Amino acid sequence: MSSCKGFALTELIVVIAIIGTLAAIATINFGSWQKKYAIEAQVKEMLVDLTDARLLSIQTKKEHRVILNPTSMVFRRYSSEGDANGTQVFSKTFKYPIQKFTSGALSAFSNTAIDMDTRGYTSDLMTIAVGVGMGGNPAYNCLGVHWARVNIGRINGNNCDFQ
């Protein structure tokens, strides 16, 4: 009988394999969680920005326009009806692409405008999908632009279920 105490090589290999497997699973889940929260953060940020543009229209009594592209949006202020170009207020780029969502179909944005009058109303009604197909299973990944408000929701089949 040996008086040496310790671990056998096979025991060490089994423990290292189990730790490696658990680390791999945790890394995969962490990446998925990261995407989920990044998409949700982008939706929230877009909600705040669109609401801010609407409020700026009301406060300044000037028309505002939000121009949407797949990876960016630009905010412009118009001082009068004759002001064709307007003044750029600010612009943002997106980490995850945005798309139009209509009756279950996605289509790309290309200089698509949302015009807000001096009362903050718009006639440009649309649903904006954020990061669809990118994974992560976010709690909300769409925005509904209505004539007087903007809602967030989650795409469920052919609809954006607003919260």
pLDDT in tens, 46-67: 999 999 999 999 999 999 999 9
Q: What is the pTM (predicted TM-score) of this model?
A: 0.79
How far apart (Å, rounded) are the C-alpha atoms in residues 114 and 128? 12
Q: What angle do CA 89, 144, 122 make, to 5 degrees?
A: 55
Q: What is the DSSP letter of 13?
A: H
Q: Strand 126-130 to strand 112-116: parallel, antiparallel, or no bridges (unpaired)?
A: unpaired
147-162: average pLDDT: 90
Residue 90: the pLDDT is 86
150 touches 163 (CB < 8 A): no
Please report where in the chains the tokens 């790309």 appear, as a residue. Answer: 108
The letter for the amino acid at 54 is: R
